[in-house]
Amino acid sequence: MRVNLLGPLQAYGDDHCVDLAPAAQKVRQTLALLVLNTGRVVRFEQLMDELWDGDPPASAHTALQTYVYQLRKRFSLGNPRSGGAVRAAGPLLGTVDGGYQLSVPADHVDVFRCEPLVARARAEFRDEDFARARDTAAAALRLWRDDALVDVRKGPALRVEAVRLKELRTSAHHLRIEADLNLGRHHEVLGELTSMAGREPTDEWAQRNLMTALYRLNRRAEALQVYQRARTRIAADLGLDPSPELQALQTAVLTSDERLLRPTGRSTAMTADTRAPCHLPAPRERLTGRADELVRVTAVLAGRTGTDRPVVIVGGAPGTGKSELCLHAAHQVSCHYPDGRLYARLRDGVDRPVRPAETLRSFLRGLGATEEQLRLGTTDLSLLFRSWTADRRVLVVLDDVCDLRELTPLLPSGSGCGVLIASRRRLFVSSSAVHVELAGLPFEDCLHLLGSAVPSHRTTRDPAGLRRLAGLCQGLPGALFAVAAQLRRRPHWTARQAAAWVLASGSADNDPLGIRAGFDRTLAMLPAASRGPAYTLLSPGIPDRLTPALVAASLGIGDQQAEDLLEELSESYLLRARRPCANGRFSYEWEPGIRRFAARQSEGSVMCSA
């Protein structure tokens, strides 16, 4: 018997998944409460209080016996008091001392695997072993699939447990971020901290760590702005002044206290002899429909194509899964790069470029550079990075690349080093670079991805509805995974409700799929002279198939200017060139999803740029 409670309830028997339908909520409640009290007696009164919220009917005891009987039957649970045959090694659900007692091994419940990990991470953090504390906290967080008990009805006891488990998750998250800060990974957590500080403007932990990260990234003015916003909100919402700790941090930032630049503990003692850094995030989803591309990328990076200094550039429209493909490939070839696997996203949490110096400091800190070396300027940092990588085998993974100029200082020099780039634009890095371009997934792969991501959801039993959902996602893995995540959170939804939610991405002011934001960021990266015309071409009256002559007439510009605009949009993976027309010029089509997910912004953006 295995039970997972850190997310939607999952229950497994000896060798099979036990389907506890959402309609059987009291059975699910009973199971959750017994599991969370494994090894302890849960009294009848406590169970009835949980199931009927303090107002049990006259038949409550009989109903409770029925729920327990169902659990015993579905999970083959023995009862030591039944007098029947009981498996000595199996889980037991006994009737004891006016209640029930469930016995399940601790490692068969995700909650009981998570709690020791968080306790160990705390101990490692106290010992200033930040690298291990970070890894342990991250391992604890990987057990979470959503909020604890998210799809279980909660009475008094389970409400308390849900709050406790939420605090456990928050504690693990805080430990992981603080360990990252102490390891010098400031720009890697900046996006998380910015988001947390925005959601919780009076949470001094988030404000304090955001200020520290910004200061270490040489953004002192922004760190002080964070303090001012926090002070204003704390006064308005709570009627208080900031804590002495937050005030002291503001003073340290104002006076440029050098102690703020130095993480404490064992991380500052790292040298080139420490273990090879691995900065690669874990892939978020299983890879579907990209087997050929994955084989091609890994073959180049693993040296099977005979290429020295392998460079692979993965490009494609927003939402096509560039980052996920790169992460899967990087993890597969890690063994070929024993001296380090470095990762950086070249846009921060609010989509501003991360300065090359910040990325280089992160790389070099992981490779053992001293604090004095890390104070060098961009040119010297780049030279130091090239020198360090000249005779080593290091893989550098660069995500969200838009401009060759921001990329050049970050390239390693050694012939045994590999570079993997996820790019929003077509880039020329070297004549030997391998380009892999991602289009939308074939429809059958979309169906498989969506169905396998939520195999037990009611929408999978509606083939027509599932096909409609897959079609609305325009072949974009990002949209498909967003739909799957929503269905996991809402197992009661029908295909019609899910389809309405997807359609809201094309009509509402919010961005439920998270896809429009990607398109808008790419459009915003265009040169100023191209941005307004691009939004105009997304207007409903403009055909999907574009030619230079049509664009010239629509925008009132010359044919060559129109062709240059179309090529600019093609380089940004917004348009795809088709076969030449009779006059030798190409026609162009929007990449899948752009008209649906980005056109909503066109009218307002054109007005702003007019």
Q: What DSSP string runs through 222-283?
A: HHHHHHHHHHHHHHHHHS-PPPHHHHHHHHHHHTT-GGGGS--SGGGG--TTSPPPB-PPPP
CB 108 within 8 A of CB 11: no
Burial degree of 378 (CB within 10 A; 0-12, 13-18, 19+): middle
**Rounded average pLDDT over 213-218:** 85
* Strands lying side by side in the sheet with 575-580: 545-546, 586-590, 575-580
> Which DSSP state fits 544?
S
Tell me the one-letter amino acid at 385.
Answer: F
Q: What is the pLDDT of residues 180-211, one digit of tens each?
A: 888 878 778 888 999 999 999 999 999 999 99
Q: What is the pLDDT of residues 390-415, one digit of tens each?
A: 878 899 999 988 888 888 899 998 88
Q: Classify domain 1-116+128-169 at the CATH class level.
A: mainly alpha
Sign of CA dihedral 537, 540, 546, 551: negative
Evaluate whether the domain defined by 516-609 bears CATH number 1.10.10.10. Answer: yes
Q: What is the pLDDT of residues 45-96, one digit of tens each?
A: 999 999 998 788 989 889 998 999 888 888 888 776 654 444 445 678 888 8
CA distances from 33 to 17, 151, 429 (A): 19, 14, 58
Question: What is the structure's pLDDT at 54?
Answer: 79
Q: What DSSP string runs through 416-469?
A: T-EEEEEESS-----TT-EEEEE-PPPHHHHHHHHHHHSTTSGGGG-HHHHHHH
CB 263 within 8 A of CB 182: yes
Question: What is the structure's pLDDT at 252?
Answer: 87
Question: What is the structure's pLDDT at 416?
Answer: 85
Tell me the one-letter amino acid at 366.
Answer: G
Question: What is the structure's pLDDT at 17?
Answer: 80
Question: What is the structure's pLDDT at 351?
Answer: 74
Which of the two residues, 545 and 596, has the higher pLDDT score? 545
The least confident of 121-130, 254-263, 428-437, 466-475 is: 254-263
Question: What is the structure's pLDDT at 609?
Answer: 36
Q: How many residues does the chain have?
A: 610
Query: Measured between alpha carbons, how far is 172 from 117 in angstroms, rounded to an integer?
Result: 9
Q: What is the pLDDT of residues 421-477, one digit of tens each?
A: 999 888 888 888 999 999 888 999 989 888 888 888 888 888 898 899 888 888 888
* Degrees, nearest 5: CA angle 495-514-523: 130
Of 390, 417, 419, 394, the closest CA to residue 407 belongs to 419
Please say if the pLDDT value at position 583 is more than 70: no
CA distances from 445 to 306, 317, 437, 454, 500 (A): 32, 18, 17, 14, 22
CB 594 within 8 A of CB 569: no
Question: Which pLDDT band, with edges at 50, 70 and 90, does 309 fall under?
Answer: confident
Please say if the pLDDT value at position 265 is more than 60: no
CA distances from 213 to 92, 178, 348 (A): 50, 10, 12
Q: What is the pLDDT of residues 503-552, one digit of tens each?
A: 876 554 667 777 777 777 788 788 888 888 888 888 888 888 888 889 99
Query: Measured between alpha carbons, how far is 446 from 502 in angstroms, rounded to an integer?
Result: 15
The least confident of 131-135, 347-351, 364-368, 426-430 is: 347-351
Backbone angles phi, psi at 105, to 5 degrees: -55, 140
Which of the two residues, 136 and 54, has the higher pLDDT score? 136
Q: What is the pLDDT of residues 371-389, one digit of tens each?
A: 888 888 888 899 889 888 8
Question: Which pLDDT band, with edges at 50, 70 and 90, does 603 fall under?
Answer: very low
* Degrees, nearest 5: CA angle 212-215-220: 130
pLDDT > 70: percent of the chain: 91
Query: Measured between alpha carbons, how far is 197 from 205 in angstroms, rounded to an integer?
Result: 9
Write down the CATH number for the domain with range 184-269. 1.25.40.10
| Common-topology check for domains 1-116+128-169 and 291-438 | no
Query: Measured between alpha carbons, how far is 300 from 548 in angstroms, rounded to an integer?
Result: 37
CB 130 within 8 A of CB 23: no
Question: Which pLDDT band, with edges at 50, 70 and 90, does 23 fall under?
Answer: low
Which of the two residues, 335 and 349, has the higher pLDDT score? 335
First to last CA, the chain: 64
Question: What is the structure's pLDDT at 532?
Answer: 86
Query: Measured between alpha carbons, how far is 493 from 450 in angstroms, rounded to an integer?
Result: 15
Question: Which pLDDT band, with edges at 50, 70 and 90, does 289 fall under?
Answer: confident
Question: What is the structure's pLDDT at 263?
Answer: 57
Q: Spell out the domain ranges in the chain.
A: 1-116+128-169, 184-269, 291-438, 443-507, 516-609
Question: What is the structure's pLDDT at 260?
Answer: 77
Please say if the pLDDT value at position 257 is more than 90: no
Q: Classify domain 291-438 at the CATH class level.
A: alpha beta
Enumerate residues 6+ apart whose C-beta is below 8 A from 163.
Answer: none
Question: Which pLDDT band, with edges at 50, 70 and 90, does 605 fall under?
Answer: very low
